Amino acid sequence: MDRIESLPRTRELRAEPGMPPLPELRKRIGPELSDEEFLLRATMPSEQVNAMKAAGPAEQTYDPEMTPVISLIRQLTARRDIAHISIEKQGFRLELHGQEAQASA
């Protein structure tokens, strides 16, 4: 803690004025906003929040066919006796190099 407290940036941050009380902040930013948007607008520049809202929700995809591949990758990366693995099929290629393989390459 002493090392952190001695940093110049720590002193700068401590010198900055704190946030106003929550009710005042809510009144200033917008009482009608959801809690999520209120927190974003209280902590981020409004241009960034506006850009996020304009972009819409993030695309969320789940491909259940990839689950076995992810499981395979986890199993293979846990093994220390394999230096190099290459798996290919149409539209997919996976290459894993162990630390020994990278050192000799």
pLDDT of residue 105: 37
Same domain, 69 and 90: yes
Q: Crossing angle for the helix pair 22-29 and 35-43, nearest 10 degrees?
A: 90
pLDDT of residue 3: 93
Provide the token pair at 95.
Answer: 């290459």
> Residue 60: pLDDT above 50?
yes
- The reported pTM is 0.46
45, amino acid identity: P
Same domain, 38 and 9: yes
Point out the domain boundary residue: 17, 33, 55: 55
Q: Which residues face 44 on adjacent strands?
A: none
Same domain, 6 and 36: yes
> Residue 63: pLDDT above 80?
no
As a whole-number percent, the residues of the chain with pLDDT over 90 amount to: 43
Domain that includes residue 49, residue range: 2-55
Nearest to 101 by CA among 89, 88, 85, 78: 85
pLDDT of residue 99: 65
